[in-house]
Amino acid sequence: MKILLLDKNHPLINAQLSEKGFVIEEDHVSTYSEVLDKIGYFDGVIIRSRIPIDESFLLKGKNLRFIARVGAGLENIDTEKAKQLGISIISSPEGNRDSVAEHVVGMLLVLTNRLFIASQEVKNGIWNREENRGDELLGKTFGIIGYGNMGKATAKRLSGFGLKVIFHDILPNLSDEFATQVSLDELKNQADILSLHIPITDDTFHLIDEKFISEMKKDFYFVNTARGKNVKTKDLVEAIKSGKIKGAALDVLEFEKSSFENLDYQNSDLEFLLNSEKVIVTPHIAGWSHQSKEKLAQVIVDKILREFG
């Protein structure tokens, strides 16, 4: 089988698949149209996010047997068309779930204890103790929307913090030793902290909007390491200004490019988030640890070999 690697990934992908007899070509620079011209010669393609795998791509890839996404989200792939054409879709959420979970906990602790603000103040000669009192996690209720790989790993990481962890998911009977499944209404009534761990779909686009926020019984902290478009930024900003959202930790933004490599555009809402003391923003790196780079690649290789080796 001939496989095209369209993004830079851990070298173990090339090494291990080549060892098993796969023919590997790496191309990290060709444009979408240039890739289209040659995709018909390949049996499989391994991607991150640089090239969209749309209907035209799939139809040109007349010999494609699989598309492997090094990561969790599949929004850049026309999965329905791929299924119609009998093309397998492979992803690797197991590979960066631990990295995401640790990032959630890290951002939350920085946010609730004003660690970044206090550190910057001291470095600038300002010694504010009263203004920088922390808000303890102990005794709070942590609400998760989406209890897949990322949600479960996050709940596991929180098990030693003395939090009550609840979650809502569209699939039933997922409760475990780390978290209890509840209805969405129950989550809205109980949660002091809300964390998203969902894909971007028609149903989850702008899930967090003015209506959703207003239905939260308590003022709450908000964490998003899922997708920026799960949140209507304008409504998020208004809720932070009003105090309904006490603080936000955002690893993803609505205004990212589809490749996640940079911001697509700026506006006043984004400027507010970037300048607010109540907001922490990181550049889509929750699943981007040194360890996850290798684990993501290994999961992909193992799944390819299991199905096509």
Catalytic residue among 10, 168, 227, 254: 227
Catalytic residue among 114, 157, 254, 256: 256
284 is annotated as an active-site residue: yes
* Inter-residue contact 153 to 100 (CB < 8 Å): yes
* Inter-residue contact 56 to 78 (CB < 8 Å): no
Catalytic residue among 102, 284, 290, 294: 284
In degrees rounded to 5, what are phi and psi of residue 2? -100, 130
Query: What amino acid positions are annotated as catalytic residues?
Result: 227, 256, 284
